[in-house]
């Protein structure tokens, strides 16, 4: 089942992916000693900044990270609701995975220490992919393995990196086990606990999609529903520009944009609308527009005009 656009329900997802520490397991990791030893106490992104160190220091840092994570795994506990949500997803045959900046070895060790906590088949730690979150390419790797669409996936995390990654790859981002008002602009939904997310999942609770949240706040959810049902034909000579017209239509909640199949994003049109990437030049305009909006408005449909005419 797909999301009831422009609204979404966690229970309608094709896949629900999770961070590990602080979301499924409580390992109480403390990297203060590493920050002080290698970075003068600064709160840097340890993996990214550690990769820039000379090889001997980099290797030493990674060994210390492994030691801290192993110690945390040895005494970890499961987060309330973790077994329930993972079990419910298995029962409904919704794909799952764990994507973490921790090592996969420490994750599996922690799961074994927690007894009956059954991990998803895909557990991707920092050593299992050339990239780590919030780099979206690690998420692209997982959705490729699962064979699902990013726009109908949910990522559940407890930190800003998780929400950043979800936004960058077109997932629905859910914050749990953390209350941070400054992060509200990043997530699609937030819950004080994972157990609360599980309750929302079971009840079939519906949320306004992130990209329409402010619009729904101004015009109301029913008006948003009506607007999203509209199909707008892209004019031949929009004012003030094609890019401005398209972005205004999307921002105002149009659900479908129709473009003449014959129109191309030729060099002249691209020069006048440089928001499109050069890689889109020469494509049918409806394809170029669909690519352009894929992450910012993943629910938006861009169709050739004749397809819509034929189906009418």
pLDDT in tens, 54-106: 999 999 999 999 999 999 999 999 999 999 999 999 999 999 999 999 999 99
- Report whether 273 contacts 242 (CB < 8 A): yes
pLDDT in tens, 235-278: 999 999 999 999 999 999 999 999 999 999 999 999 999 999 99
3-state secondary structure of 182: helix
Report how far apart the first and last C-alpha atoms of the chain are (Å, whole number): 24
Mean pLDDT across the chain: 94
The helix-helix angle for 242-251 and 285-293 (nearest 10°) equals 50
**Percent of the chain residues topping a pLDDT of 90:** 90
Neighbours of 121 (CB within 10 A): 11
Evaluate the CA torsion angle 289, 217, 210, 4 in order and state its sign.
negative
Tell me what pLDDT residue 2 has.
66
Tell me what pLDDT residue 117 has.
85
Tell me what pLDDT residue 312 has.
43
Whether 309 has a pLDDT exceeding 80, the answer reads no
| Alpha-carbon separation of residue 202 from 10, 80, 116 (angstroms) | 9, 15, 21
Whether 311 has a pLDDT exceeding 50, the answer reads no
Mean pLDDT for 7-24 is 96
Tell me what pLDDT residue 306 has.
86
Pairing of strands 231-233, 256-259: parallel
Whether 1 has a pLDDT exceeding 70, the answer reads no
Mean pLDDT for 94-119 is 93
Q: Return d(Cα 82, Cα 79) in angstroms, integer.
A: 6
Mean pLDDT for 179-205 is 96
Name the pTM for this structure. 0.91
Mean pLDDT for 39-54 is 95
- Sequence-distant (6+) residues with CB within 8 A of 115 are none
Give the least confident one: 2-6, 165-169, 237-241.
2-6
């Amino acid at each position: 089942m797909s999301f009831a656009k422009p609204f979404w329900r966690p229970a309608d997802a094709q896949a629900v992916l999770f961070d590990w520490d602080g979301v499924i397991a409580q390992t109480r990791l403390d990297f203060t000693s590493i920050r002080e030893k290698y970075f003068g106490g600064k709160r840097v992104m340890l993996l990214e900044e550690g990769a820039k160190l000379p090889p001997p220091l980099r290797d030493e840092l990674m060994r210390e990270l492994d030691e801290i994570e192993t110690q945390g795994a040895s005494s970890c506990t499961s987060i309330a609701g973790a077994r329930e949500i993972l079990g419910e997803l298995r029962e409904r045959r919704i794909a799952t995975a764990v994507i973490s900046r921790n090592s996969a070895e420490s994750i599996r060790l922690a799961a074994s220490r927690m007894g009956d906590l059954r991990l998803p088949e895909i557990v991707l730690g920092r050593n299992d992919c050339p990239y780590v979150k919030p780099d979206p390419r690690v998420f692209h790797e997982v959705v490729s393995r699962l064979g699902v669409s990013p726009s109908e996936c949910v990522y559940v995390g407890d930190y800003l990196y998780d929400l950043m990654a979800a936004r960058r790859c077109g997932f629905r981002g859910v914050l749990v086990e953390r209350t941070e008002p400054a992060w509200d602009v990043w997530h699609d939904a937030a819950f004080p606990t994972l157990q609360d997310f599980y309750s929302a999942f079971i009840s079939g609770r519906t949320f306004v999609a992130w990209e329409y949240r402010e619009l729904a706040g101004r015009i109301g959810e029913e008006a948003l529903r009506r607007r999203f049902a509209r199909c707008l034909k892209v004019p031949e000579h929009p004012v003030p520009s094609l890019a401005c017209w398209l972005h205004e239509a999307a921002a105002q909640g149009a659900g479908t944009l129709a473009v003449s199949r014959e129109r191309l994003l030729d060099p002249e049109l691209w020069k006048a609308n440089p928001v499109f990437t050069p890689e889109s030049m020469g494509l049918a305009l409806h394809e170029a527009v669909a690519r352009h909006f894929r992450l910012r408005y993943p629910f938006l449909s861009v169709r050739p005009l004749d397809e819509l005419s034929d189906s009418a």
